[in-house]
Copies of this chain bind each other. A is one copy, B any other.
Amino acid sequence: MIEIPAPYLLFLGDVSNPLDAKTAMGLRDWRPERCVGQYRLPGCAVDLGLPEMDFSAAAATGAQSVVIGVAPSGGALKAEWVAALGEALRAGLSVVSGLHRKLSEAPELVDAAAASGQQLIDVRVPPASLPIASGRRRSGNRLLMVGTDCCVGKKYSALALHKALEARGVAATFRATGQTGILIAGGGIPMDAVVSDFLSGAAETLTPDAASGHWDVIEGQGSLFHPAYAAVTLGLIHGSQPDAMVLCHAVGRTVIDEYENYPVPVLRECIAQYERAARVTNEQSSVVCVSLNTEGLNDAEALAACDKVSTETGLQCVDPMRHVLDPILDVLL
């Protein structure tokens, strides 16, 4: 499994659009205790409100890694960024990236990492040796987010549920399956980058044996109804052997995003399909509630939308951005 040395200095480069800094904001919001400061190049117009630090100062306060928290326009690493990140390595920090372009493709960084003994960590690159799934049942409990589509709020739901479980005193671990989640969790496996044969084995590795009261709260990927990504979803379901699943849905989503000829099935049908798929490796698996993304609705409309889904499905339904999660935890525990 990928493991990112913490705490972090967040690298913001020279971006000017806050939308390009969503990863950094996610880290600051979900894991403030791991973010010691921010580093900005001249021209950067984004401010996370964290202490401004250079690499030596960050290292002196105990930072272990500099995390690239922004997406550069075009996806390539600019020469100025590479120069700064080389300096970070020489100051004793590992460099961590969730970008498509790999750090290991920049020779200056490879050389600087080798010379300084620091790591280059590309969180889109899965671990080298993953096993074929064994199908063995493991101890502990697992809660998996599943979706009617991509981009319906699976990562957010998992993070919110993990936080709510810990707030109730329940031992829980957030298990990340995509690059942003991995940066927030400080580790995980980018499931969509795993070679197909090893997908379920990767999900088994991600959610190992645990104490009997412990819950792994697992970020989902894709959707069983997505014409391109359903295989990733199924491998994650089979390998994680979820005891419980949360169906994540976005209000008004009637077709798969960017695939207008692909309707999202009615929720009861989605639930039945997820349960059939999950019961291949865990006979007791069931969808326990619905997490509804009500973005764009006012509070009264959001409550009404949740009530409607609840009536349709016979399950509790909340929006974790707006509502308390107790109804879900009560069903789960």
**Residues of chain A having any CB pair with chain B under 8 Å:** 132-135, 191-197, 199-201, 224-225, 227-232, 234-235, 238-239, 256, 259, 261-262, 273, 276, 280-281
Q: Judging by beta carbons under 8 Å apart, are B227 and A281 in contact?
A: yes
**A133: which B residues are within 8 A, CB to CB?**
227-228
**CA A197 to CA B228, docked complex, whole Å:** 7
Q: Judging by beta carbons under 8 Å apart, are B228 and A132 in contact?
A: yes
- Per CB-CB distance, the 8 closest pairs between chain A and chain B, nearest first, are A231-B235, A135-B227, A133-B228, A192-B197, A231-B231, A199-B231, A196-B232, A231-B234
Q: Judging by beta carbons under 8 Å apart, are A135 and B259 in contact?
A: yes
**CA A133 to CA B231, docked complex, whole Å:** 11
Chain B residue with minimal CB distance to A197? B192
**CA A234 to CA B224, docked complex, whole Å:** 9
Chain B residue with minimal CB distance to A276? B273
Q: Judging by beta carbons under 8 Å apart, are B229 and A197 in contact?
A: yes
Chain B residue with minimal CB distance to A265? B280
Q: A133-B227, A262-B135, A276-B273 are in contact. Are A197 and B238 (CB under 8 A)?
A: no
Chain B residue with minimal CB distance to A221? B196
**A256: which B residues are within 8 A, CB to CB?**
135
Q: What are 28 of the A-B contact pairs (CB < 8 Å)?
A: A132-B228, A134-B227, A135-B227, A192-B196, A193-B196, A194-B195, A194-B196, A196-B196, A196-B231, A197-B228, A199-B231, A200-B227, A200-B231, A201-B228, A224-B280, A225-B280, A227-B238, A227-B239, A227-B280, A227-B281, A228-B238, A230-B235, A231-B231, A231-B232, A231-B234, A234-B234, A262-B280, A273-B276
